[in-house]
Amino acid sequence: METTRQQKIAKQIQKDVAEIFQKEGAPIVRGSLVTVSAVRISPDFSYAKIYVSIFPFEQSGEVMKRLEHQNWFIRRALGQRLRNQLKNVPEIQFLLDDSLEYIEHIEQALKED
C-alpha cells in the first residue's frame, strides 16, 4: 500500500517526465506518441518504475531502446525539477504499458467473430 507522500511524488514524477518528453525529449521519442501512464515509487523514494504507452505500437521496441539509452538525460532533467522535493533523485526504469495494444487486439478478435 502506497503512502500519501509516495502517491504525491509518483504523480509529480509522472507530470514531470511527460513534460520532459514534450519539451526536451523530442529526439528521444521521434514522431511517436509517448504517454506516461503510471509511476510506481519505492517506499524509500530511491527507485521509480515509469510505465509508458507508445503509439504506433510498431515503434515501441525502438522507442524503449532509446528511452533506456537516454535514461541518464531524463533522470538529470527530472532531478532539476524535483530538487526541492526529494533529497536524492530516484533511479528510473521504463516499462512498456501495452494495455492499449491489448485492447486493440481484443477488439479485432471480437470483430472477427
SS (H, E, C) the chain: CCCHHHHHHHHHHHHHHHHHHHHCCHHHHCCCEEEEEEEEECCCCCEEEEEEEEECHHHHHHHHHHHHHCHHHHHHHHHHHHCCCCCCCCEEEEEECCHHHHHHHHHHHHHHC
Alpha-carbon span 80 to 99, nearest angstrom: 31
Alpha-carbon span 36 to 15, nearest angstrom: 8
Model pTM score? 0.85
| Section 54-80 average pLDDT | 91
Q: Residue 48 CA to chain centroid, in angstroms?
A: 10
56 cis-preceded (ω within 30 degrees of 0): yes
Tell me: the pLDDT tens digits for 3-31? 999 999 999 999 999 999 999 888 888 88
| Section 94-99 average pLDDT | 88
Name the maximum alpha-carbon separation found in the chain: 55
Alpha-carbon span 72 to 38, nearest angstrom: 20
